[in-house]
Amino acid sequence: MHVNVQFIDLKTQYEEVRATLDPAIAEILSSGAYVLGKHNKELENIIATRHGVKHAICVNSGTDALRIMAQACDIGPGDEVITTAFTFVATVEVVAQLGATPVFVDIDRETMCIDPAKIEAAITSKTKAILPVHLFGQMVDITAIQAIAEKHNLIILEDSAQNIYSHHNGVYTGNFGKAAGISFYVTKNLGAAGDGGMILTNDDEVNRRCLSLRIHGMGRERYYYDEIGYTSRLAELQAAVLVSKIAKLDEWNAQREKVANHYLSELADANLILPHTYEGNNNVWHQFTIQTPDRDGLMNHLKEKGIASAIFYPVPIHMHEPYAHFGAGKGSLPITEIVSEQCLSIPVHQHMTMEQAAYVAQEIKAYVGLK
């Protein structure tokens, strides 16, 4: 048997929402209301309500969300920010761009999230914030990180790029620190037709500054500038795409979970490491990432069988030249480095059939064998 299994199916996503999306796009184009219009506001209201936060601010990308919220929290030169090197570069990039110093801490092997047990050893007199990455669709061990932050009077900035609608014991991301940044990049569970992002916060002053920073630092009134800002408006067309898709997000996440649970069951005895979900977390399964020493061999086998896969992330950030001077080099984060060598993400999108999920699990077991 040979079945083609895509890693993501954007065409089918569009077909599911075109009945509501196409008229919305036509209305925007005919009205000329291209910037910060009603679709931006609707998206902000939907997500703020669902996540239980006071403020949601649409911006141009997930990267801008992280950068703007960090600046609004006064992260800058002389500050140290504790984070992970097993992440997309934006997490670390924005810290460096603001003149602060990222400090890397190793990860937990099974969840691949930052390991709270290793955070306190990295705290110095210059540490200002902890920037945990809620990875692959679930939150970090957030209660442990909160306890550390409170003990040392540090702020928490949540990188929630991959985990919209994710929560811990019913409390959603965006409520555990000063602010959280979400990405709406094409491949996310809720993806735009391009770039997009959002900041979540319960802090009125952070909200005020984020609103100003996203439009050139223009806060009090038009053409009066409070600080040096950015051009980071979310296009109204993109907001319309997201509003159309968010109506389907619970349904889509439920199918992702169904596929993920099938993998967890069928691969329980396979010779590999499966992803672990922290107790109290839901998991929206942005990725389903396994670990095997023969990662490249398995990836090639799956390709031959028509199954797409991807590596997130092949080289941890502390081993990339522009960021190497922030860390202690290769060998300094042993778990991070092992995971980067062995991780492989397999299809878990909402348009997969259970027959496809069974086929993927079957071919993985055929290659890696049993424990």
Q: How confident is the model at residue 271 (pLDDT cuts 50, 70, 90)?
A: very high
- How much is the pLDDT for 329? 87
> CA angle, 298 as apex, 292 and 303 as ends, to 5°?
150
pLDDT digits (tens, 9 = 90+) for 276-332: 999 999 999 999 999 999 999 999 999 999 999 999 999 999 999 999 999 888 999
- How much is the pLDDT for 53? 98
| Domain coverage including residue 285 | 249-368
Last residue in a domain, options 231, 246, 261: 246
- How much is the pLDDT for 219? 81
pLDDT digits (tens, 9 = 90+) for 211-244: 999 999 998 788 999 999 999 999 999 999 999 9
155 membership: H or E segment, kind and range: strand 155-159
Could you tell me if 74 and 199 lie in one domain? yes
In this structure, what CATH number is given to the domain that contains residue 236?
Answer: 3.40.640.10
**What's phi and psi for 197, nearest 5 deg?**
-160, 175
Residue 189 in contact with residue 178, Cβ under 8 Å? no
Question: Strand pairing of 55-59 and 127-130?
Answer: unpaired
Orientation angle between helical segments 236-246 and 10-31, nearest 10 degrees: 130
Q: Please report whether residue 168 resides in a domain.
A: yes
Last residue in a domain, options 196, 220, 246: 246
Could you tell me if 85 and 16 lie in one domain? yes
Could you tell me if 239 and 254 lie in one domain? no
* Structural tokens at position 104: 């890397």
User: Does residue 169 carry a pLDDT above 70?
Assistant: yes
Neighbours of 289 (CB within 10 A): 25
pLDDT digits (tens, 9 = 90+) for 109-148: 999 999 999 999 999 999 999 999 999 999 999 999 999 9
Which of 186, 146, 178 minimizes the C-alpha distance to 62? 186
Could you tell me if 189 and 277 lie in one domain? no
Could you tell me if 23 and 83 lie in one domain? yes
Could you tell me if 211 and 344 lie in one domain? no
Residue 109 in contact with residue 117, Cβ under 8 Å? no
pLDDT digits (tens, 9 = 90+) for 18-49: 999 999 999 999 999 999 999 999 999 999 99
Last residue in a domain, options 188, 211, 246: 246
Could you tell me if 292 and 217 lie in one domain? no
Could you tell me if 212 and 269 lie in one domain? no
Q: How many domains does the chain have?
A: 2
- How much is the pLDDT for 8? 97
- How much is the pLDDT for 354? 97
Average pLDDT on 60-76 reads: 98
User: Does residue 10 carry a pLDDT above 90?
Assistant: yes
Could you tell me if 226 and 253 lie in one domain? no
In this structure, what CATH number is given to the domain that contains residue 312?
Answer: 3.90.1150.10
Q: Please report whether residue 2 resides in a domain.
A: no
Residue 213 in contact with residue 68, Cβ under 8 Å? yes
**Calpha distance 300→297 (Å, rounded):** 5
Residue 291 in contact with residue 343, Cβ under 8 Å? yes
User: Does residue 2 carry a pLDDT above 80?
Assistant: no
User: Does residue 1 carry a pLDDT above 70?
Assistant: no
**Calpha distance 113→136 (Å, rounded):** 9
**Calpha distance 27→234 (Å, rounded):** 17
* Structural tokens at position 315: 């080289």
343 membership: H or E segment, kind and range: strand 343-346
Q: Please report whether residue 1 resides in a domain.
A: no
Average pLDDT on 149-178 reads: 98
Could you tell me if 151 and 184 lie in one domain? yes
Q: Please report whether residue 130 resides in a domain.
A: yes
Could you tell me if 167 and 286 lie in one domain? no
Arithmetic mean of pLDDT over the chain: 97
Residues of the chain with pLDDT > 90, as a percent, come to 97
- How much is the pLDDT for 14? 97
Average pLDDT on 181-197 reads: 98
Average pLDDT on 91-106 reads: 98
Could you tell me if 232 and 317 lie in one domain? no
